[in-house]
Chains A and B, each alone.
Chain A
Amino acid sequence: MLAIDARDVTKTFRSGWLRRRETHALRGVSLAVPRGAIWGLLGPNGAGKTTLLSILATLLTPDGGSVTVLGHDVLREAAALRHRLNMASGRPSFLWSLRVDEIIAFYGRLYGLHGAALRRRVDELVELCELVPFRRVQYSELSTGLKQRVALAKSLVNDPELLFLDEPTLGLDPDVSVRVRQHIARLRREQGITIVLTTHYMREAEELCDEIAFIKAGRIPARGTPGELKRQIRLGEVIALKLDPAAVEWLAEAPGVLRCAEAGGWVECTVDEAEKRLPELLRALHADGVVVKNVQVREPDLEEVFVELAK
């Protein structure tokens, strides 16, 4: 069962009166997001992430293609769809003079909550997002982190089946980011919410997402699980060695070694296939009289994948 089924979505922005300028934000994007998944959307600035997210959230209409979200066509059934989804942004903005509980209550009423049910929901969300001491504080007086928690609380007010999180940990302190990530994982685990997440933090994507799509210049050139993405672009694997003597010249020329670099007393060899190359390297080093003091094998992290794809 798909939460999102988008096919060949295109969007072009036009600006200027006399000299019309066209920006092709999306050039035939297709994606399928299963229900209950945490799905990541990565890409450099201006790649089309926000455009795609906004189309899926009914804030923007596509020029071409078809988009079905939770079984609703985003063009024809947007009003019905809006009851079932919500969004939180890493750059949140709400009315400056409203207090935390008033903001949540305002949106709660728009989703049909009132009376005791509304009060109960506001209390739950204030507690869930650790906003209890700040519930009577005006929005303009909150720190960035607290504002983001308000955005998260607001985004949960209607118990959405689909939640869009646009860079949810942008600018947060590391400890708060960790808690937000834990919270996102809990939302999926306990409530089965489908979450579509954009982020610049590769660690966040790797930790949370079941599947990732990499968007670049309005197209999705790569997608898959973090592991699949790494394999798709053939970044290789890294064998890190602590050697005595510390440097061995011939290592970079050894069969299957793509490149070698020194980092913090370790020699990091990127190889095509670690399982095959590690025994060969260890035998060669032993034969050369080099002492291997420590060995680590790791996959390239998602950040390296991002850099490679963004080239």
Chain B
Amino acid sequence: MNWRNELLAVWAVAVRNALMASRNVFFFFELLFWPIVGVVSIGLMTRFLELTPEQASFVLIGTIALSVVNVCQLEVAYAVLMDVWSKSLKHQFLAPIGIRHLTLGSWLVGIARGLAIFVLLAAFGWWAFGFAVLAPGLPAVAVFVFGCFLTAWIVGVAVCALITLFGNRAEAFAWASVNLVLVLAGLYYPVSVLPESLGAVAAAIPLTYFLDAYRAHFGFASEFRAPIATGLALGALYTALAHWAFFAAIRRARRTGLLLKMSE
């Protein structure tokens, strides 16, 4: 393996995604408008319900995680979606590009955008609602944010696999899938309130553990033993599975001709 070429290919995808993002008229809405609308509405709701500062923190952590994961996973899904929309998929796969380059490059841009949103919402949450997102300290924040990015990566790669497998029909899944994952991960509530069957699904989602670990710093008892280690282990497993699924989907698309159909 030529590491220089590997890094160049990842960089190529990252530069491409960053350029496209910077020229996207919806960029402002994705980066600023919707996340702030989310924090404002949830923040005001916590005031109306007269939640304690700890309870408000619990909910606002979920709101911030929602925005960060949403934007980051969308950027990863763009690795394939943009080429499907522009019908340039065949040019991309004619070049010596691997799925690792696509998903890593787009994930890097997703991380940059996710970090920008996190910082923005943390500052806004502190200013508007007195929410001290950084109070648990930088290592805890770093682990929590990484957990969000890892979840976003997995969902984004899975969406790429589905689009490559089913074509444009799967596009709606790109928008809907992450919300399903987030609801089950216990965004605004502890997963113990979920019905038993859904609780088992929640326990299979890495973000559940990262939310749990972070909320523990705000005084909420952890529902899991070793949540960070469990979250990381599950994340590593799903990352490998999602990449395998994406690889298999591309191989199938080369066999069925879908790769060409999506470029016509």
Contact = CB atoms under 8 A, between A and B. Distances in A.
- In this complex, the member of B9, B16, B19 whose beta carbon has the largest number of chain A beta carbons within 10 angstroms is B16
A59 interface: yes
B97 A110 contact: yes
A93 B86 contact: yes
Given A59-B260, A97-B24, A107 B95 contact: yes
A88 B54 CA distance: 60
A82 B12 contact: no
A235 B98 CA distance: 50
B96 A110 contact: yes
Interface in B63-90: 82-83, 86-88, 90
Interface in B232-264: 254-257, 259-260, 263-264
Contacts of A82: 94-96
Interface residues on A, range: 35 or more
B16 A112 contact: no
Given A111-B96, A114-B8, A59 B254 contact: yes
A95 B94 contact: no
Contacts of B8: 109-110, 112-114
Interface in B6-28: 8-9, 11-12, 15-16, 19-20, 23-24
Contacts of B97: 110
A121 to B, nearest CB: 13
B96 A83 contact: yes
Given A59-B260, A61-B254, A112-B5, A93 B91 contact: yes
A109 B15 contact: yes
A235 to B, nearest CB: 34
Nearest to B82: A95
Interface string B196-210: 000000000000000
A154 B91 contact: yes
Contact of B15 (A13, A59, A106, A111): A106
A212 to B, nearest CB: 23
A105 B264 CA distance: 24
B257 A13 contact: yes
Contacts of B87: 93
A86 interface: yes
Contacts of B95: 82, 107, 110-111
Contacts of A109: 8-9, 11-12, 15
Contacts of B98: 79
Contacts of A148: none
A58 B253 CA distance: 12
Nearest to A57: B94
17 contacts: A14-B256, A59-B93, A59-B94, A60-B255, A61-B255, A82-B96, A83-B96, A93-B86, A94-B88, A97-B24, A98-B19, A106-B15, A109-B12, A110-B12, A110-B96, A111-B95, A112-B4
Interface of A: 13-14, 50-51, 54, 57-61, 79, 82-83, 85-87, 91, 93-98, 102, 105-107, 109-114, 138, 154
Interface of B: 2, 4-5, 8-9, 11-12, 15-16, 19-20, 23-24, 82-83, 86-88, 90-91, 93-98, 101, 254-257, 259-260, 263-264
10 A-B pairs with least C-beta separation:
A109-B12, A93-B87, A97-B23, A110-B95, A82-B96, A112-B5, A93-B88, A95-B86, A106-B16, A61-B255
